[in-house]
Amino acid sequence: MFHSRRKFLQYSAYMGAGALAMPLAGMAFPSQQKKLGIALVGLGGYATNQLAPALMQTQHIELRGIVTGTPSKIPQWQEKYKIPEKNIYNYGNFDEIADNKDIDVVYIVLPNSMHAEYTIRGAKAGKHVICEKPMSVSVKEGEEMIAACKKAGKQLAIGYRLHYDPFHLEFIRHSREQVFGKVLAVEASDGFRAGDPNQWRLKKALSGGGPLMDVGIYAIQGTRYTIGEEPIAVTAQEFPKTMPEKFKDVEESLAWQLYFPGGAVSNSFSTYTTNVNRLFAGAEKGWFEINNAFGYSGQQMRTNKGPLQITPINQQAAHMDGVALSILQNKPANNVSGEEGLRDMKVIEGIYEAIASGKKVDLKI
């Protein structure tokens, strides 16, 4: 990935201390002896299939606790990850985690509408918090979460794993170093065909919204870190529902456009009807693109000059190691901070406002 120390330093400057985790994982840090302990709060699919396995590969953080409302899940987690009885909590006694010195960090992997409550409770318990995206279901909640972590003197990081992914780092490099000149237009889309009509994603009380909240947020993030500015306005369109009963609570498909102060623009699409997953940047003298851009794996990057060979990594491990290092070094991971999550929430609220009003909405981010 890094062809020279100069290039690496440029990355570091952009990415914040957190990015150190990946390229320097093998180097000696003063704090490397100590591993942080993490508890996963919520044992759904992402915790079970991605985060826990990734924590077998991390160097600066390890799985020591779980929080679940489903006691039947506990034995297999205990067996697989050797989690002691005293590090297992439910949502009733979660706050007692304050007294548990094994746990430095809690990772909130609950449905979106529960992110704020558990982030705030985690901070009050004196723990650093990693919270899955979207950080909350509103800007107001996001601000409360940031304030709570600040008050507790603890870091708040959002689960923006792609900030540690070598494909996205190379994509950002193409933009920052203007490999093909200035980026003028971004196309970013993320969607999939939502199966189970009973899943929490389709219940607004749990999800806060439809594909925009769930995966469209990656397209927003991708657009923002590609262009490297904050959008000043947004237009958005909701498409008519083809399955109104299934999507009675949340949007089925939508599109939006972001307007940036330097003149760059973006056009995006997100849906629960079909697979679409791409980050494209058109620049003055060429283009670059990641296909399957936002998935846990399977990224392919190419430019108008051809495909790039990039070795994939475990995104979740790199992300959690990055956040752990930023905690160990007491240097907030600005690339994935609560403030960064809040900016996406402001765009999301702008998109919903633009859909409701049918008008272009000014953004103050």
Among 76, 275, 297, 356, binds a copy of itself (CB under 8 A): 275
Among 49, 76, 178, 274, binds a copy of itself (CB under 8 A): 274
By CB under 8 A, residue 70 contacts a copy of itself: no
Among 269, 288, 294, 352, binds a copy of itself (CB under 8 A): 269
Query: Do the Cβ atoms of 89 and 96 come closer than 8 Å?
Result: yes
Nearer to a copy of itself, 151 or 285 (CB): 285
- Please tell me the distance from the alpha carbon of residue 318 to that of residue 323, in angstroms, as a whole number: 9
- Please tell me the distance from the alpha carbon of residue 59 to that of residue 79, in angstroms, as a whole number: 21
CA quadruple 18, 23, 25, 31: dihedral sign: negative
By CB under 8 A, residue 112 contacts a copy of itself: no
- Please tell me the distance from the alpha carbon of residue 178 to that of residue 278, in angstroms, as a whole number: 20
**Residue 159 neighbours by CB under 8 Å, 6+ apart:** 107, 130, 131, 132, 133, 319, 336
Tell me which amino acid residue 80 is. Answer: K
- Looking only at residues 343 through 362 of this chain, which bind a copy of itself when binding is defined by CB under 8 A? 358-360
By CB under 8 A, residue 207 contacts a copy of itself: no
* Exposed/middle/buried for residue 72 (C-beta within 10 Å: 0-12, 13-18, 19+): exposed
By CB under 8 A, residue 113 contacts a copy of itself: no
Q: How far is the CB of 193 from a copy of itself (least distance, A)?
A: 7
The question of whether 218 is a catalytic residue gets the answer: yes
By CB under 8 A, residue 271 contacts a copy of itself: yes
Catalytic residue among 14, 107, 133, 225: 133
Contact code string over 220-259 relative to a copy of itself, x by CB under 8 A: ---------------x-x-xx-x----------x-x-x-x
**CB count, 10 Å around CB of 2?**
18
Q: How far is the CB of 365 from a copy of itself (least distance, A)?
A: 18
Tell me which amino acid residue 146 is. Answer: I
CA 345 to centroid of chain Cα atoms: 12
Q: Taking contact as CB under 8 A, which single stretch among the options 127-135, 201-209, 264-272, 336-344 is the one that binds a copy of itself?
A: 264-272
**CB count, 10 Å around CB of 85?**
7
Nearer to a copy of itself, 40 or 355 (CB): 355
Tell me which amino acid residue 276 is. Answer: V
Cα dihedral 313, 316, 322, 326, rounded to 10, equals 180
Among 287, 288, 294, 352, binds a copy of itself (CB under 8 A): 287
The question of whether 107 is a catalytic residue gets the answer: no
Phi, psi of 286 (to 5 degrees): 170, -170
In the numeric block, which tokens belong to residue 70?
Answer: 């489903």
- Looking only at residues 179 through 198 of this chain, which bind a copy of itself when binding is defined by CB under 8 A? 184-185, 187, 189, 191, 193
Site for a copy of itself, rule CB under 8 A: 184-185, 187, 189, 191, 193, 235, 237, 239-240, 242, 253, 255, 257, 259, 263, 265, 267-269, 271, 273-276, 278, 280, 282-287, 304, 358-360
Query: Which residues are identified as catalytic?
Result: 133, 218
